[in-house]
Structure 1
Amino acid sequence: MRLHTDTTVAVALPQPIGDSLIGLVLVNNLVRNGYRPVVFGWVAEQLADWLPAVRVGRPGEWQGAFDKVIEFRPTDYARALSRNGRTLCIATLPEYGGSKHMVDRIVDIAANVLQLRDVTRSNGLIVPSGIVRGRMAERVVIHPTGSHPEKMWGRRKFLALSTMLRHRRLAPSFLVAPGEIDGWGDIARDGHEVNALPHLGDVAAWIAESGWFIGNDSGLGHLASSIGVPTLTLFMRRGLARSWRPGCWGPGAIVLPPSVVPFGALRERLWQRLLSVGRVHAAFENLQGISARAAQHHKSNGLREVDTVRAGIVTDA
């Protein structure tokens, strides 16, 4: 399905943050190959300053304007953007299935379905000028929540991890959504820092200026990875990690509960109990060591910081 260079293209991103950031890989590949897609979705709107090569649109202003409309999952507005009322739904393509990482699936679609020649795994996110990457090098952003409660590690364990990090003279900083602050604001009384930032661009800036990111399997881990912040992600099971782990763009590690329970369904119910604070802390220390060695290697070889970020690290504890 080769697109003509004069084809007008719209891309409707999915709602979840992580899915949108992965979807931007396809957008970035369209841009690299000479297309000028208009991108729709709240994530792109709020990260517009981080996507200098992308034009972001609002559906009501682009009715019937495009020759080709690509959506990752069915939306209630994408068909209205198309001149012929049809869309290409990525989720229905055979290449979207399988066991590969989601980024690799998108790369396959770019190369083999859209037949783009110059293909990358990058999603094109660029830290805007004025934001100093790693300015707060000792700050460890902890994201203890997520859209799926079954994927969330325990509150007490996150607080215990924060205390361990403070004892190491790091600066853990809890980051939650504004709607979650009522459930987490009280931890400030015990000396834990907690923030609720209303705009995704502010969240990205906070992460970019931090040294590290630790969180559940959720979209903010993908955001940290996109920016190049070393990221530790807690997963309930290996299959999810294989397809969805952050770390495709920046240094990243995953940590899983020990395989002491033989049945998958039971492991999923018990994973929060099985995954200890010590195991997560050890995985974080391991990520620190690997990141430091990788940075030193790239520095000794005369590579820029961005090359270190693109190299990426994926480890498993």
Structure 2
Amino acid sequence: MDTQQDTTTARIALVSFNSLGDSLIYYMLAENLRQHGYEMTLYGDIAYQLREWMPQIPVRPYPDFNALDRELSQYHHAIISPPQALRQRLNGEFLEHVRSHWQLLCQKAPPTWASEQLKHERQRVLPGKIFSQLAPLLDCGPSIRFKKFNDGSSLVDVVVAFMRERMKLTHAQGNVHLTPPPHLVYQRYPRRIIISPDSAWSDKKDWTPASFIKTARLLQQRGYQPVFTVAPVSHEKWDVILKGEFEHAKFNDIHQLASFVYESGAFIGNDSGGGHLASMLRVPVVTIYRKRNRQFCWRPAWGKGTVVVPRLVLPWFKGGIWRAFIRPADILLALESLLENQDKTLISGKDSS
């Protein structure tokens, strides 16, 4: 470690997992650590696309995983939720090296990620004042779900409990925000409703394209402006599906998507990262979920949202039959109820998100 850079404040690198939802969760973690006095740097390719929205934290793309020692040596401590490319290599001598030098962390970590050596190693190489700042963090991993949580707890609730109880961040909170660029206006287009019909697990999570299109037609009949948006890899596929009937907004990075979401009235989508982004931007979210559990842990939980579930699930088939038991009218009803409640909350001046 470069002792010439030692200061009185502990410097921490946080390396995020590589999905959009996880990236926002780890941004929340980094921001809480920053608010508790640590000097934070966040690593992640998705977070880097959103760096303009995180001006209070230095954000960098993933380092060369073949040179982690060199990159992370500039920090007093590193917390790593290994991206897939790194996770595949965590075995044998490399795993032993990583867990003895840095803190591995994820929702449900394998027992092999735990290390009794890390704290001793940090104490051996760090100045006493820096080690005392870091000591509460060094016993907290490697699983964020460190205990049984009540049914209905969101992942935001789980992470906040982890930060308070395990990391000893006494004032930890889930109420963190992204900072929009100054030229953007929150919900500038309140009748524009984003429809995001894809996800990373299309076979398991995605409602049918036909149902999304029927929902868009209902929205249009009610005076809304439905706009479809999907991941770049699905642009051509959805051009064919939409046949020009509805606007298809195409973005090549998360910054562009965030700007569009921030100025829209609401977001409708499958259980996917886009819903978490909208939620952190405090844009109302309607999530379509394949199981009969409106309070599932990974629901968007920063802003106002609602979850639509099937009336029935037939579990005897691979993946379960559920799509037919959610109607487009269910989505419209959920959206309008959510927007009505939002309007009443804002008028009453009680919005706390």
TM-score grouping bracket, smaller chain normalisation: 0.7 to 0.9
2:32 equivalent in structure 1: 29
Q: After superposition, what is the alpha-carbon deviation per residue over 1:61-101, rounded to whole angstroms, capped at 9, x for unaligned?
A: 72422222112346629989989633232433454254432
Aligned to 2:103: 87
Alignment size in residue pairs: 296
CA shift, 1:21, in A, is 0.8
- Aligned partners of 2:49 and 2:255 also within 8 Å: yes
Distance across 1 between alignment mates of 2:198 and 2:332: 18
**Unpaired segments ≥5 residues, structure 2:** 1-6, 65-69, 110-141
Structure 2 counterpart of 1:287: 338
What is the alpha-carbon distance in structure 2 between the residues aligned to residue 213 and residue 269 of structure 1?
Answer: 26
Q: Provide the aligned C-alpha RMSD in A.
A: 2.7
Write out per-residue CA displacement over residues 212-246 of structure 1, whole angstroms, 9 at most, x where no aligned residue: 11000000000001111111000011458420111
Unaligned runs of 5+ residues in structure 1 are 311-317
Answering whether residue 210 of structure 2 is matched by residue 156 of structure 1, we say: yes
Whether contact under 8 Å (1:131, 1:205) holds in the other structure is yes
TM-score (norm 2): 0.77
Tell me the TM-score normalised to structure 1 length: 0.85
**Does the 8 A contact of 2:105 with 2:144 survive in 1?**
no
Q: Against the structure 1 CA distance between its residues 281 and 240, is the aligned structure 2 distance closer, same or farther, given a 3 Å change threshold?
A: closer
Change (3 A) 1:35 1:83: farther
Cα gap change, 1:200 to 1:74, in 2 (>3 Å): closer
Change in Cα spacing, 1:24 to 1:123, as seen in structure 2 (3 Å) is: farther
Q: Is the 8 A contact 2:315 2:321 kept in 1?
A: no
Residue 315 of structure 1 is matched in structure 2 by none
Percent identity, please. 27
Residue in structure 2 matching 1:116, options 169, 194, 198: 169
What does residue range 158-237 of structure 1 map to in structure 2 within 5 Å? Answer: 158-237=212-291
Matched residue SS, 1:232: strand
Superposed, 1:1-317 pairs within 5 Å as 6-58=9-61, 59-60=63-64, 62-73=71-82, 76=86, 85-91=101-107, 92=109, 93-96=142-145, 98-99=148-149, 100-149=153-202, 150-239=204-293, 241-246=295-300, 248-259=301-312, 261=313, 264=315, 268-298=319-349, 308=351, 310=353
Change over 3 Å in CA distance of 1:34–1:5 after alignment to 2: farther
Q: Which amino acid aligns with 1:64?
A: S
Moved more, 81-90 or 236-245: 81-90
